[in-house]
């Protein structure tokens, strides 16, 4: 609560105020002090927390002239007080001299005709002028003087008749209520200021404000940390002395905001916004806010991860890679070394060798493991759709586009890893756009002309020799060398036969739970498995184990079962062209699904990437 003190000029008013406040239950402390004595008392009161002082005219003026930082509520001299005093003075004569401060004398001469007296005013502005004006009044022929305590004191010392203009209960009560209203308003303002300061002190941005004279009025802790300048020392000084490079005075002169400026402060890049404070069409100050760019980048990454990267998570690690062969162990060690770098990685290997398993493991072993892992099969989508998926698009960029637009996978993968599987199947035009993104580390959505910075690690994979595709002009050489910074070759399963047994046992254990019966491989079964060349690699082995679980009724699996199963799955080699009836079936499936490739692939019982490859061959044959 704001502390209020009633400063009475004499004992009489002190007693009157005490009795009044007790009867009215007003919680205001009371002290005694007149004029210069009152200034000394006021100074002591302020030091002990008093913020509002109630006192009379002369003492109020003395405190005000002393420059003390306190709110002064002056006890008003009411009409009742003047009338009572004049009626008493009439007993001494009808010529009355009013000697007092201007605030008391204002309008007093208007009472002359009403009260049937002649009132002459003798204003004083300080305690020292009182005696001269009292003497002047009696020299001018007045019968009596009226005024405040200093006038009464001078008249008494000179044996002149006088009457004290005393403050009645009306004026004291009016001043007390006014002081309470001011105190209530100040407390409300203090609460707002405290809340405002707490918000600014704990803001993530550095904040500096100046007034109309360019003096610093606020310098929060973040500003201290970034600039290395103590706010307590900076406050009150001109901004041109403390931080001339901030150039806030120009913002105030031009009254134009300066937004998005990049400054380097003590080796730290910060984003600075400077805004002029305009009141009644006039600049009265300015505010500068600035934030560490790295913090903005971290928050941006969290926002992107929250809104876009949901579900884009790498679940596999190096511990999930099964095998005991020296070839596999050596490959894993190389992959771990690659993971600790920030360079692009190209994974080469036959179909089914586990390229995505290695890609996820590399991501989870790197310093980007908390970022998103985004995977896309470049062979699974037509060129235009692949571009929209990779780079995103704005609303209405093409027919069927989402009206709200969509972020591309590069945006989604910001701060993490993007895995481009079957990169060799990407169209030549799309390769050029991908190269531009890799070079500039910026992406432009389809239908837009603004760029978005991205921080993404590239892991590409192919089951074809990209170098051969480059020599055949089917793959850009510049993109190849951009991707092939670190190369990881995955050995086929036939070259690491020691891994076949643990892999087969793992797949049996993983899938046999569905059939609720344990299965065991006999030595002859292991022999049969290791003798097979496995052109489909680990994926083919996994499919084989699932097929065995589905059809085999015995607990043990021997070599005969394996050989029969492997013989049954040997199909007539598929040629590079489509059979006529196969093309018809694909056309029917696409018609039923209204062109939706994923649904058509399900109807045909093939993967979407296989469907897309068949369509490419069919279109090539038609052309």
Tell me the domains of the chain and their CATH numbers. Answer: 3-75+171-183 (3.40.50.2300), 79-166 (3.40.50.10660), 204-295 (3.30.450.20), 318-491 (3.40.50.300), 494-568 (1.10.8.60), 580-622 (1.10.10)
Q: What angle do CA 251, 253, 259 make, to 5 degrees?
A: 15
Model pLDDT, residue 231: 80
Percent of the chain at pLDDT exceeding 70: 88
- Which region holds residue 25: left if phi is over 0, alpha if psi is between -120 and 50, else beta? left
Q: Encode pLDDT of 8-25 as tens digits.
A: 887 888 888 888 888 888
Residues 137, 98: Cα–Cα separation, whole Å: 8
Output the six-digit token pair for 245: 């490079």
Residues 198, 221: Cα–Cα separation, whole Å: 11
pTM of the model: 0.53
For 297, the enclosing helix (H) or strand (E) is: helix 293-307
pLDDT value at 270 more than 70 = yes
Residues 1, 150: Cα–Cα separation, whole Å: 34
Q: Encode pLDDT of 352-367 as tens digits.
A: 999 999 999 999 999 9
From residue 50, alpha-carbon distances to 31, 32, 42, 172, 292 in Å are 12, 14, 8, 18, 42
Q: How many residues comprise the chain?
A: 623
pLDDT value at 577 more than 70 = no
Model pLDDT, residue 623: 46
Q: Encode pLDDT of 473-501 as tens digits.
A: 999 999 999 999 999 999 999 999 999 99
Helix, strand, coil percent content, the chain, rounded in steps of 5:
50, 20, 30
Model pLDDT, residue 570: 54
Three-state DSSP class for residue 125: coil
Output the six-digit token pair for 266: 């003590």
Model pLDDT, residue 111: 81
Q: Encode pLDDT of 305-321 as tens digits.
A: 555 555 688 889 999 99
pLDDT value at 46 more than 50 = yes
Pairing relationship of beta strands 451-453 and 442-444 according to DSSP bridges: antiparallel
Q: Encode pLDDT of 189-201 as tens digits.
A: 777 767 666 666 6
Nearest to 356 by CA among 316, 410, 326: 316
pLDDT value at 615 more than 70 = yes
Q: What is the mean pLDDT of residues 241-259?
A: 83
Model pLDDT, residue 298: 67
Band of pLDDT at residue 553, cut at 50, 70 and 90: confident
Residues 23, 202: Cα–Cα separation, whole Å: 46
Average model confidence (pLDDT) across the chain: 83
Per residue, the 3-state secondary structure of 531-544, as one string, reads: HCCCCCHHHHHHHH
Exposure string over 597-620, b if 16+ CB within 10 A, otherwise e:
beebbeebebebbebbbbbeebee
Q: Bigger pLDDT: 571 or 111? A: 111
Residues 14, 17: Cα–Cα separation, whole Å: 5
Residues 526, 532: Cα–Cα separation, whole Å: 10
Q: Bigger pLDDT: 563 or 160? A: 160
Q: Is 34 exposed, middle or buried (0-12, 13-18, 19+ CB in 10 A)?
A: buried
Exposure string over 299-322, b if 16+ CB within 10 A, otherwise e:
eebeebbeebbeebebebebeebb
Nearest to 489 by CA among 337, 322, 347: 347
CB 388, CB 406: distance < 8 Å: yes
Residues 278, 284: Cα–Cα separation, whole Å: 6
Model pLDDT, residue 574: 40
Q: CA torsion sign, 242 to 243 to 247 to 251?
A: negative
Q: What is the mean pLDDT of residues 522-536?
A: 91
Min mean pLDDT across 23-32, 199-208, 408-417 is at 199-208
Model pLDDT, residue 573: 43
């Amino acid at each position: 609560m704001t502390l209020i003190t009633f400063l009475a000029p004499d004992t009489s008013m002190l007693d009157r105020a005490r009795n009044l406040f007790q009867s009215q239950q007003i919680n205001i402390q009371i002290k005694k002090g007149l004029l210069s004595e009152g200034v000394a008392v006021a100074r002591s009161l302020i030091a002990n927390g008093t913020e509002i002082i109630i006192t009379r005219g002369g003492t109020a003026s003395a405190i005000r002239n002393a420059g003390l930082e306190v709110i002064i509520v002056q006890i008003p001299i009411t009409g009742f007080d003047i009338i009572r005093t004049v009626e008493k003075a009439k007993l001494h004569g009808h010529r009355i001299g009013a000697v007092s401060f201007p605030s008391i004398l204002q309008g007093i001469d208007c009472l002359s005709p009403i009260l049937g007296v002649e009132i002459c005013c003798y204003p004083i502005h300080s305690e020292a002028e009182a005696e001269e004006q009292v003497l002047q009044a009696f020299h001018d022929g007045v019968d009596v003087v009226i005024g405040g305590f200093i006038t009464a004191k001078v008249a008494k010392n000179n044996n002149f008749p006088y009457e004290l203009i005393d403050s009645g209960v009306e004026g004291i009560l009016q001043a007390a209520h006014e002081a309470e209203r001011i105190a209530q308003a100040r407390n409300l303002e203090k609460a707002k200021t405290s809340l405002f300061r707490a918000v600014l002190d704990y803001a993530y941005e550095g904040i500096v404000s100046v007034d109309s004279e360019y003096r610093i009025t606020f310098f929060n802790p973040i500003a201290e940390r970034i600039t290395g300048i103590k706010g307590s020392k900076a406050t009150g000084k001109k901004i041109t002395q403390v931080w001339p490079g901030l150039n806030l005075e120009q913002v105030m002169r031009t009254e134009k905001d300066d937004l998005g400026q990049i400054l380097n402060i003590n080796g730290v890049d910060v984003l600075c916004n400077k805004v002029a404070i305009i009141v009644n069409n006039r600049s009265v100050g300015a505010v500068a806010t600035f934030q560490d760019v790295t913090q903005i980048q971290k928050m941006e990454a969290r926002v992107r991860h929250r809104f876009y990267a949901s579900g884009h998570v790498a679940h596999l690690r190096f511990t999930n890679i099964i095998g005991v062969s020296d070839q596999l162990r050596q490959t894993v060690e190389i992959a771990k070394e690659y993971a600790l770098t920030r360079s692009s990685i190209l994974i080469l290997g036959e179909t089914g060798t586990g390229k995505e398993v290695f890609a996820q493991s590399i991501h989870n072993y790197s310093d980007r493991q908390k970022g998103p892992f985004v995977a896309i099969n470049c062979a699974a989508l037509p060129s235009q759709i692949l571009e929209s998926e990779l780079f995103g698009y704005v609303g209405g960029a093409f027919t069927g586009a989402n009206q709200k637009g969509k972020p591309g996978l590069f945006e989604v993968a910001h701060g993490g890893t993007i895995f481009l599987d079957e990169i060799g199947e990407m169209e030549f035009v799309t390769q050029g756009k991908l190269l531009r993104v890799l070079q500039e580390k910026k992406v432009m959505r389809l239908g837009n002309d603004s760029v978005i910075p991205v921080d993404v690690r590239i892991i590409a994979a192919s089951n074809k020799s990209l170098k051969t595709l480059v020599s055949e002009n089917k793959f850009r050489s510049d993109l190849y060398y951009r991707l092939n910074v670190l190369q990881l070759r995955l050995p086929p399963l036939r070259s690491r036969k020691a891994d076949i047994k643990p892999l087969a046992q793992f797949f049996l254990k993983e899938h046999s739970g569905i059939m609720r019966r344990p299965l065991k491989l006999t030595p002859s079964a292991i022999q049969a498995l290791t003798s097979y060349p496995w052109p489909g690699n680990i994926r083919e082995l996994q499919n084989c184990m699932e097929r065995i679980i589905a059809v085999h009724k015995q607990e043990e699996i021997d070599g005969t079962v394996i050989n029969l199963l492997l013989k049954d799955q040997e199909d007539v080699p598929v040629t590079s062209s489509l059979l006529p009836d196969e093309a018809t079936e694909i056309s029917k499936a696409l018609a039923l699904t209204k062109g939706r490739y994923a649904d058509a692939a399900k109807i045909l019982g093939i993967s979407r990437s296989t469907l897309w490859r068949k369509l490419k061959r069919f279109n090539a044959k038609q052309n």
